[in-house]
């Protein structure tokens, strides 16, 4: 029987991405979406890891199932690491990707190309309620902020993030190209072996 894990997100893009990445590494596991009646989690942690653990614990407690959760965001050098854990609500509203991108570009308007360094960071937590096990891994993708949005793939800040040694934004890449480089891909590949050890 294939083990199931609930993914603590209501973001359909993220659900697709996690399923794709874990399938690519050969983990035979069913990723179940978060139930509609699951409580919202206040992301009160000061780090991506703390928020990922909060969300995974909540999903595991609500469903009684093993749960994985990620918290991720963009850390911009010229903004002292912001928006960081506030990435999804940088504009003041949660999940308004276009407004977040527009605000960040406005804040970076006078920043010279050599000072536009940034990192996408992703922490992934696994909580297994039957054993009380909690695991946490992190992935980082280094890059820089483009001057204008480019591309229509991906979501969030993808249209303005150019990974190191690349000329395209992550929104101009295919899903496979992005998964091979991305912070979430790195973290989930690290988590895959932990999931296999815990659940299969």
β-bridge partners, 70 = 124
- SS3 assignment, position 130: coil
Which of the residues 16, 37, 70, 71 is marked catalytic? 71
Q: Mark whether 71 is an active-site residue.
A: yes
Long-range (24+ apart) CB contacts under 8 A made by 82-88 are 84/48, 85/43, 85/45, 85/46, 85/47, 85/48, 85/51, 87/156, 87/157, 88/156
Domain coordinates in residue numbering, the chain: 4-199
Quick: pLDDT tens for 70-111. 999 999 999 999 999 999 999 998 879 999 999 999 999 999
Q: What is the mean pLDDT of residues 114-127?
A: 97
Query: Pseudo-torsion of CA 170, 166, 164, 140, nearest 10°?
Result: 30
Fold held by 4-199: Maf protein (3.90.950)
**Global confidence as pTM:** 0.91
- SS3 assignment, position 32: strand
β-bridge partners, 74 = 120
């Amino acid at each position: 029987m294939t083990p199931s894990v609930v993914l603590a997100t209501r973001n359909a893009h993220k659900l697709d991405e996690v399923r794709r990445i874990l399938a690519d590494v050969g983990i035979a596991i069913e990723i179940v979406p978060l139930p509609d009646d699951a409580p919202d989690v206040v992301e009160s942690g000061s780090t991506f890891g703390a928020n990922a653990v909060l969300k995974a614990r909540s999903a595991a407690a609500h469903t009684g199932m093993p749960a994985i959760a990620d918290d991720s965001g963009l850390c911009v050098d010229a903004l002292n690491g912001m928006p960081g854990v506030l990435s999804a609500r940088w504009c003041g509203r949660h999940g308004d990707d276009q407004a977040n991108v527009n605000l960040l570009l406005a804040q970076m308007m006078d920043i010279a190309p050599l000072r536009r360094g940034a990192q996408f960071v992703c922490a992934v937590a696994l909580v297994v309620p039957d054993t009380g096990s909690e695991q946490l891994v992190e992935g980082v993708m280094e890059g820089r902020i483009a001057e204008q949005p480019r591309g229509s793939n991906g979501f969030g800040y993808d249209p303005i993030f150019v990974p190191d040694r690349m000329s395209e934004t992550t929104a101009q890449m295919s899903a496979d190209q992005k998964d091979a480089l991305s912070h979430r891909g790195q973290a989930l590949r690290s988590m895959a072996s932990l999931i296999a050890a815990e659940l299969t």
